[in-house]
Amino acid sequence: MPKKRKESEKKIPINTNAYIEGAGTVVQEPITVTLEKNYMPYAMSVIVSRAFPEIDGFKPSHRKLLYTMYKMGLLTGNLTKSANIVGQTMKLNPHGDGAIYETMVRLARGNEALLHPYILSKGNFGKAYSKNMAYAASRYTEAKLEPICNELFGEIDRDTVDFVPNYDNTMTEPSLLPVTFPSILVNSNVGIGVSMASAICPFNLSEICETTISLMRNPEHNALDTLKGPDFPGGAFLIYDENELDKIYRTGRGSVKLRAKYNYDKTANCIEITEIPYTTTIEAIIDKIIALVKAGKIREISYVRDETDLNGLKIAIDLKKGTDPDKLMAKLFKLTPLQDAYSCNFNLLIKGYPKVLGVYGIINEWVNFRKECIKRGTAYDLNKKKERLHLLKGLEKILLDIDKAIKIVRETEEEADVVPNLMIGFSIDETQAEYVAEIKLRHLNREYILKRTKDIENLIVEIKDLEDLLGSDKRIKSLIIEQLKAVSKKYGQPRKTMIMSEAVEEYVEEDETPDYPCHFFITRSGYFKKVTLQSLRMSNSQKLKEGDDIVQEIEGSNKYDLLFFTDKQNVYKAKASQFADTKSKDFGDFIPAKLSFEDGENVCAMVATPDYSGYILFFFENGKVAKVPLNAYETKTNRKKLAKAYSDKSKLVEAIFVKDNLFVMTRSSNGRAIIFNTAMISPKTTRDTIGVQVMTLKAKSVLDKAYIISEEAVSSLSKFVVKNIPAAGCFAKNIEDPDQVTLG
């Protein structure tokens, strides 16, 4: 008999209604589709909802914080704990208290990051110019809104901007703030999105207002006449460059140079730096100076210290006796962040899309935005006044017979019938009747009604004026200009960043490398020697390892640059001064070890040059020759290694440096030879070019030799001279005599 099934083994019926078709199925799709569906929305969200400011000058995090403070009554009220503000802001910004408080710190007056701070602060809010001066916790500091915030929120309750739901749909917040001045250009804003960034430098408020007014009156106005340049909260000097500023104003991209402000205390023999570029910090400057002193590049400084206190920023630099402070500062401007550049990238959101605009473009967009705000605010006021006029006209009809109105109310049996009966009795609509019905009994007197109806004439005039304003672009522009003038007068302040309009002398670093003649030797196995003339006179014979021999000898100077070409298409660069002077009896430096060659990499040619003039000729087995200018290997930075120094499409036979055009003989493995002038080959700036065909090769032969020959040798070997390339050449016999051929 079958065993009885255990309870746990009983078959459980499947609920077919709960089955989801395709659940758990892995669907393969191209990575490009996945990125488009998942990564692109994320990237757009970061750009639109976090990183970039909009035309009102604020990122979403700034706007949420300031609007919360406005709703808390902190525009006119007393200071409150920052922790309280942070907690309230989390109703709009769910990114955590740390991120909110950090945003708040940057907007505060105490941090000194903005030209016109939006938050009045009390307590330690750190300093933007110091990474070590950290801000206190939110429970210790207090804050409220600065008076300039009246220009942000003065019209926000008049339907001037759209309101959108917050993240949990429990309240609404403004999508923009109806600012009455171009705040986007007054306070700096830096943001990093996905694949793009934004860096908007600050400008002086009065200058921006004046420039905006001038451009509204005359679109052809030159902004350089009224907007002198960026104005940074840290002060310092702006090195004036009209062309660069004009480029920034028109394109939104470019850079401005900032230079620290200093004074010299002759009594203490000390330089005091009181203002630094906006892009750096005290610690970065001091660390760089200390590093330069340790490296021996600056010897005039005895001590440097941070003397920043309640009176403001100060870096003190004690000088050694006899130091010229101006020359030292010129050196420091060159080598430290005491002179730095602010890279402008005016990338902002216009109607939800990132756009790079210059000052002209931003002001034009702001004016359009401001016009829309005024139109919406005017339409709001117009509707309110029309509603008020409508109610007062109903009240005016009551004036004809107050007793009748009282009688209607008194004799109406049910409350719901009061409004309909008033509508019938005085020929007014429901809204007017509701208004009359809500009037208190004490106000149902002729004096009260006369006072209210007196406003009718004023309202009619005001409504007509508002309708005229709404339909007049000229009047709207005039209103914007009046507001800009008022803002400039009320909140404008002198420039903090002064303009250096005169030509600025740049420090030219002196080359202290000793200059003396010497000879450079390279051996077949890769040993290098730098031998002075004095050492050569004492002993002309060179000591070499067994089986090794010298393949190149070059006359030069200790200030020459050395280029070592290897058999792996690399070139390693070094200064001759990096190598110690060696004597003839020494083996020298092993180049692969000295310059950190790759495993199995060997030197195949050496070039010594003072100025990277001349050409280098690369001869390949396939009969081709590449002529590359030596300056193709010159770099602005001190790069030690350059890859793809020459072509790898054929084996390199010889690399010969020439200062000018001359004659070269090439020979093939089957005994043929040609002589040609290097002027017949056009130079190629591409380092790894394969060059041009010089020698036509027969059967399985290859080009296997190349060397420079003298003018005298050319005349005696005229039959090998070719006038056109490529050429097959003639068979060569008995021309290896050193008197006939000068080897390279």
pLDDT surpasses 70 at 377: yes
Give the residue-averaged pLDDT of 414-433.
86
Give the residue-averaged pLDDT of 175-182.
95
Q: CA 244 to CA 254: how far, in whole Å? A: 6
99-118 pLDDT tens trace: 999 999 999 999 999 999 99
pLDDT surpasses 90 at 51: no
Establish whether domains 261-337 and 517-731 are of one fold.
no
> Which pLDDT score is estimated for 734?
58
DSSP string across 197-237: EEEE--B-HHHHHHHHHHHHH-TT--GGGT--SB--TT--E
Return mean pLDDT, the chain.
88
Q: In CATH terms, is domain 364-491 a member of 3.40.1080.10?
A: no
Give the rounded distance of the alpha carbon of 598 from its chain centre: 37
Out of 42, 140, 167, 516, which one is annotated catalytic? 140
Domain 58-178 CATH class label: alpha beta
pLDDT surpasses 80 at 740: no
Please give the helix or strand (H or E) that residue 714 lies within, else none: helix 711-716
Q: Helices (H) and strands (E) in the chain — how many of each?
A: 21, 33
Q: CA 609 to CA 97: how far, in whole Å? A: 61
Domain layout of the chain by residue ranges: 58-178, 261-337, 364-491, 517-731
Instruction: Please state the φ and ψ torsions of residue 616, each to the nearest 5 degrees.
Output: -120, 130
> Which pLDDT score is estimated for 474?
93
* Residue 532, Cβ density class (10 Å: 0-12 exposed, 13-18 middle, ≥19 buried): middle
Instruction: Please state the φ and ψ torsions of residue 619, each to the nearest 5 degrees.
Output: -105, 125
Q: CA 208 to CA 219: how far, in whole Å? A: 15
Instruction: Please state the φ and ψ torsions of residue 380, each to the nearest 5 degrees.
Output: -65, -50
pLDDT surpasses 70 at 75: yes
> Which pLDDT score is estimated for 507?
61
Pick the CATH number of 261-337 from 1.10.3720.10, 3.30.230.10, 3.40.50.300, 3.30.1360.40: 3.30.1360.40
> Which pLDDT score is estimated for 69?
95
pLDDT surpasses 80 at 503: no
Give the residue-averaged pLDDT of 358-366.
95
Contact 658, 677 (CB under 8 A): no
Q: Is 106 helix (H, G, I), strand (E, B) or coil?
A: helix
> Which pLDDT score is estimated for 451?
77
Domain 517-731 CATH class label: mainly beta
380 is catalytic: no
218-269 pLDDT tens trace: 999 999 999 999 999 999 999 999 999 999 999 999 999 999 999 999 899 9
pLDDT surpasses 70 at 689: yes
Give the pLDDT band of residue 532 (cuts 50, 70, 90): confident
Contacts of 481 (CB under 8 A, 6+ apart): 213, 216, 217
Q: Which one is predicted more confidently, 672 or 440?
A: 672
Give the residue-averaged pLDDT of 10-34.
66
Give the residue-averaged pLDDT of 496-518.
75
598 to 570, 653, 658: CA distances (angstroms)? 10, 21, 28
Give the residue-averaged pLDDT of 309-336.
91
